């Protein structure tokens, strides 16, 4: 049985990165011979098998042909006559089209090693345009590899633009979009994800609520970067820095200022009540992409509350208590630290402010811990019935007041 290690494991090893999952291609075999060798079939759309001992995935070398719009519109062909080079030719980027033989020999028919050295992400063939998911994958790879100096090949960007114009991106289903967006936001440089999508026109199709923020000015005394779209990029990158790999933090950071896209132009650069105006577009994005409920909830809480957290020192203790109640902190205590992180990302995601301290985050958590320490069993007078709730609120507000004085 002739097997080759392919894809990301080969690429990452060449980049000096610890590889993740390993994928294998098998040449010259059939589903019957694989089963006879003890491999267990798992692929629904094309022949993929699990190794009987390691559990790793082994796929038969295959070719594919486009027969319908969208990312599912493919017919796959796999038989013992399909060569390794034919299998590599159907892959997305040259850096992912390198195989390694059992003796360590690299098979690189599309010069992926040269593109790795040049730090260029380049499509393998015009067939790239047949799968709209590859637009999102390109953006995700840029979010991952931009810190290593990678850029997008101009001819690949041109091809991606043509895919958007042709309407291929319109056929992406919400679940697939969300899968790639979440991965992009969990990458080291989410700004590269947004920049790549915007450069090919896909951001306007997939996330018009963010695309419209580019070019909208903000008050320079608070936002030296001025451009709202640039601010969003900086906030997402700061979120990736403060909470590496946490897509929930990144998603809330991405959507926190959507209200600024609804500000009338005659009010620029001020954005009065944008924290409230942004709730409707946040909900629209979450519904369109079928975002998990906790992601949607934190995005809405952040949109509504981020200005309150920024001015926490000025808020009355009862206002702080009600903020905590609105985010359901007493039942979901993890949300306090999450909100503090996102708001810190917002404050430090500004030109010249990336190294600033953010005391409001620790203050929010201190106030919450003080309020959380108040127990109904310790309330004076042993209130009963509806009086318990009001007495508990009053005692928690007093605890918050004391915490704010520390």
pLDDT of residue 66: 56
Whether residues 75 and 167 fall in one domain:
no
Report pLDDT digits (tens) over 106-144: 999 999 999 999 999 999 999 999 999 999 999 999 999
- CA–CA gap between residue 247 and residue 339 (Å, rounded): 13
pLDDT of residue 47: 82
Residues with Cβ within 8 Å of residue 50, at least 6 apart in sequence: 39, 40, 42, 56, 57, 58
Averaged confidence pLDDT in the chain? 94
Tokens of 245: 């790999």
CA distances to 34, 61, 62, 82 from 28, rounded to whole Å, are 10, 8, 11, 7
Judge contact between 242 and 271, C-beta under 8 A: no
Residue 96 lies in a domain: yes
Report pLDDT digits (tens) over 199-248: 999 999 999 999 999 999 999 999 999 999 999 999 999 999 999 999 99
pLDDT of residue 262: 98
Whether residues 230 and 345 fall in one domain:
yes
Residue 127 lies in a domain: no
Whether residues 193 and 264 fall in one domain:
no
186-193 mean pLDDT: 98
Residue 260 lies in a domain: yes
Whether residues 202 and 216 fall in one domain:
no
Whether residues 24 and 149 fall in one domain:
no
Taken in order 240, 246, 251, 256, is the CA torsion positive or negative?
Answer: negative
- CA–CA gap between residue 130 and residue 69 (Å, rounded): 8
Residue 124 lies in a domain: no
SS (H, E, C) 160-220: HHHHHHCCHHHHCCHHHHHHHHHHHHCCCCHHHHHHHHHHHCHHHHHCHHHHCCCCCECCC
- For 125: left if phi > 0, alpha if psi spans -120 to 50, otherwise beta; the answer is beta
Whether residues 297 and 162 fall in one domain:
no
Residue 48 lies in a domain: yes
Which residues form the domain of 300? 210-406
Whether residues 142 and 273 fall in one domain:
no
- CA–CA gap between residue 314 and residue 276 (Å, rounded): 20
146-153 mean pLDDT: 98
- CA–CA gap between residue 54 and residue 37 (Å, rounded): 14
Judge contact between 184 and 140, C-beta under 8 A: yes
- CA–CA gap between residue 119 and residue 15 (Å, rounded): 10
pLDDT of residue 163: 97
Q: Which of the four pLDDT bands, split at 50, 70 and 90, describes residue 77?
A: confident
**Domain-ending residue, one of 144, 177, 206:** 206
Whether residues 95 and 187 fall in one domain:
no
Residue 357 lies in a domain: yes
Whether residues 85 and 143 fall in one domain:
no
Residue 126 lies in a domain: no
**Domain-ending residue, one of 206, 221, 246:** 206
**Domain-ending residue, one of 206, 231, 256:** 206
Whether residues 389 and 255 fall in one domain:
yes
Whether residues 107 and 180 fall in one domain:
no
| 19 alpha carbon, distance to own chain's centre | 20
pLDDT of residue 220: 97
Report pLDDT digits (tens) over 394-406: 999 999 999 999 8
- CA–CA gap between residue 75 and residue 166 (Å, rounded): 21
Whether residues 346 and 269 fall in one domain:
yes
pTM as predicted: 0.92
pLDDT of residue 79: 81
Residue 263 lies in a domain: yes
pLDDT of residue 68: 55
Judge contact between 31 and 41, C-beta under 8 A: yes
- CA–CA gap between residue 208 and residue 22 (Å, rounded): 36
CATH code of the domain covering residue 193:
1.10.110.30
Burial (CB < 10 A; 0-12, 13-18, 19+), residue 258, is: buried
The count of structural domains within the chain is 3
Straight-line distance from the first to the last Cα atom of the chain, in angstroms, rounded to the nearest whole number: 70
Helix (H) or strand (E) holding 401: helix 387-404
């Amino acid at each position: 049985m002739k097997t080759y290690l392919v894809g990301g494991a080969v690429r990452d090893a060449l980049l000096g990165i610890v590889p993740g999952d390993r994928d294998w291609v098998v040449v010259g075999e059939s589903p019957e011979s694989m089963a006879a060798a003890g491999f267990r079939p798992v692929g629904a759309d094309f022949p993929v098998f699990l190794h009987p001992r390691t559990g790793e995935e082994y796929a038969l070398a295959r070719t594919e042909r486009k027969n319908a719009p969208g990312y599912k519109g493919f017919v796959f062909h796999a038989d013992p006559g399909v060569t390794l080079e034919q299998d590599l030719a159907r892959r997305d980027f040259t850096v992912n089209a390198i195989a390694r033989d059992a003796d360590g020999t690299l098979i690189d028919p599309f010069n992926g090693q040269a593109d790795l050295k040049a730090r260029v992400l380049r499509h393998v063939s015009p067939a790239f345009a047949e799968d709209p998911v590859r637009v999102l994958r390109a953006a995700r790879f840029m979010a991952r590899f931009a810190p290593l100096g990678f850029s997008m090949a101009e001819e690949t960007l041109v091809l991606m633009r043509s895919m958007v114009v042709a309407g291929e991106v319109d056929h992406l289903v919400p679940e697939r979009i969300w899968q790639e967006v979440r991965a992009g936001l969990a990458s080291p440089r989410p700004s590269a994800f947004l920049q790549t999508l915007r450069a090919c026109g896909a951001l306007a199709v997939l996330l018009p609520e963010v695309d419209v923020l580019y070019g909208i000015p903000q008050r320079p005394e608070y936002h030296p970067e001025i451009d709202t779209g640039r601010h969003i990029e900086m906030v997402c990158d700061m979120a990736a820095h403060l909470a590496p790999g946490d897509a929930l933090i990144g998603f809330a950071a991405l959507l926190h200022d959507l209200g600024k896209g609804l500000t009338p132009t005659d009010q620029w650069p001020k954005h009065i009540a944008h924290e409230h105006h942004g709730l409707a577009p946040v909900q629209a994005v979450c519904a369109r992409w079928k975002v998990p409920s906790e992601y949607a909830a934190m995005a809405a809480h952040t949109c509504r509350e981020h200005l309150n957290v920024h001015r926490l020192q000025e808020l009355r203790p009862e206002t702080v208590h009600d903020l905590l109640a609105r985010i359901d902190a007493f039942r979901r205590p993890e949300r306090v630290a999450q909100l503090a992180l996102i708001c810190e990302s917002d404050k430090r995601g500004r030109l010249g402010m990336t190294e600033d301290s953010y005391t409001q985050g620790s203050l929010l958590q201190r106030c919450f811990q003080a309020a959380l320490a108040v127990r109904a069993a310790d309330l004076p007078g042993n209130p009963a019935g509806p009086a318990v709730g009001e007495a508990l609120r009053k005692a928690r507000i007093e605890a918050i007041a004391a915490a704010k004085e520390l």
